[in-house]
């Protein structure tokens, strides 16, 4: 084991309250009648969707194109949107995930997933323990060796602070499936780290 650390959602993600989700849905209902209201949703979520796509393509131009396509499809289909008690962003992330999958299917390429080193280092900064660069490098390598479908659940749970209900909706899998992918990632990490984790 190379060190002790606790894997828990980063401090910066902020969950919307139920009241904020309902208020946001009122804006979505306005956007169904008036496309100009959609602009506020676009401004709120563009950056998050772009980074979500970029981590799955590792190509800024491609990420920009897919993000634009995501919002275009959302605008075109917003009348079909049904409120399920989740933030509107969950629907946008689901569209984005589908667009990324379509891209790889059409190009017949192997999917990629990249996580910025700065985000990984944030995990270590949440602990009181001092870690060496070699330990940080080992964590990065361990994460990069995880299958893409496992890594994306880990990323959404711990780096974006999404709950399993939201993750399962975005990836169109059952909550039990999302948890199983996460548990596999935790098992891999425990081979090199004395890991505590907070679900």
Return the percentage of the chain with pLDDT > 90, whole number.
47
Does residue 101 share a domain with residue 136? no
CATH number of the domain within which 33 lies = 1.10.1740.10
Indicate the helix (H) or strand (E) that contains 5: strand 4-7
pTM summary value:
0.81
Q: Is residue 6 part of a domain?
A: no
In tens, the pLDDT along 93-128 reads 999 999 999 998 887 777 766 766 666 666 656 555
Determine the structural domain holding residue 123 and report its residue range.
115-197
93 within 8 A of 33, measured Cβ to Cβ: no
In tens, the pLDDT along 28-50 reads 999 999 988 999 999 999 999 99
- What total number of domains does the chain contain? 2
Does residue 56 share a domain with residue 40? yes
Does residue 122 share a domain with residue 102? no
Q: Which of 58, 84, 107 is the endpoint of a domain?
A: 107
Indicate the range of 63-72, 87-96, 112-121, 170-179 predicted with least confidence: 112-121
Does residue 140 share a domain with residue 88? no
Does residue 71 share a domain with residue 38? yes
Does residue 129 share a domain with residue 98? no
In angstroms, the CA 147 to CA 184 distance is 10
Does residue 166 share a domain with residue 128? yes
- Which one of 48-62, 68-82, 101-115 scores highest in mean pLDDT? 68-82
Does residue 102 share a domain with residue 24? yes
Does residue 120 share a domain with residue 99? no
Q: Is residue 38 part of a domain?
A: yes
The answer for residues whose C-beta is within 8 angstroms of residue 19's C-beta and 6 or more apart is none
Q: Which residues pair with 196 in a beta bridge?
A: 6
Q: Is residue 13 part of a domain?
A: no
Nearest to 66 by CA among 88, 36, 98: 98
Nearest to 115 by CA among 133, 141, 97: 141
Q: Is residue 10 part of a domain?
A: no
CATH number of the domain within which 121 lies = 1.10.10.10
């Amino acid at each position: 084991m190379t060190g002790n650390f606790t894997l828990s959602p980063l401090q910066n993600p902020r969950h919307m309250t139920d009241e904020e989700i309902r208020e946001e849905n009122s804006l979505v209902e306005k956007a169904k009648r008036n496309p100009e209201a959609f602009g506020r949703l676009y401004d709120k979520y563009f950056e998050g969707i772009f980074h979500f796509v970029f981590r799955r393509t590792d190509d800024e131009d491609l990420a920009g194109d897919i993000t634009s396509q995501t919002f275009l499809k959302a605008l075109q289909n917003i009348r079909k949107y049904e409120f399920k008690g989740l933030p509107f962003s969950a629907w946008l992330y689901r569209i984005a995930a589908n667009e990324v999958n379509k891209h790889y299917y059409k190009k017949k390429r192997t999917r990629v997933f990249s996580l910025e080193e700065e985000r990984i280092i944030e995990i270590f900064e949440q602990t009181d323990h001092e870690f060496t660069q070699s330990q940080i490098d080992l964590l990065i390598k361990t994460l990069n060796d995880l299958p893409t479908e496992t890594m994306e659940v880990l990323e959404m749970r711990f780096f974006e602070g999404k709950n399993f209900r939201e993750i399962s909706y975005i990836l169109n899998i059952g909550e039990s499936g999302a948890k199983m992918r996460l548990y596999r990632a935790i098992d891999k990490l425990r081979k090199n780290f004395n890991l505590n984790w907070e679900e």
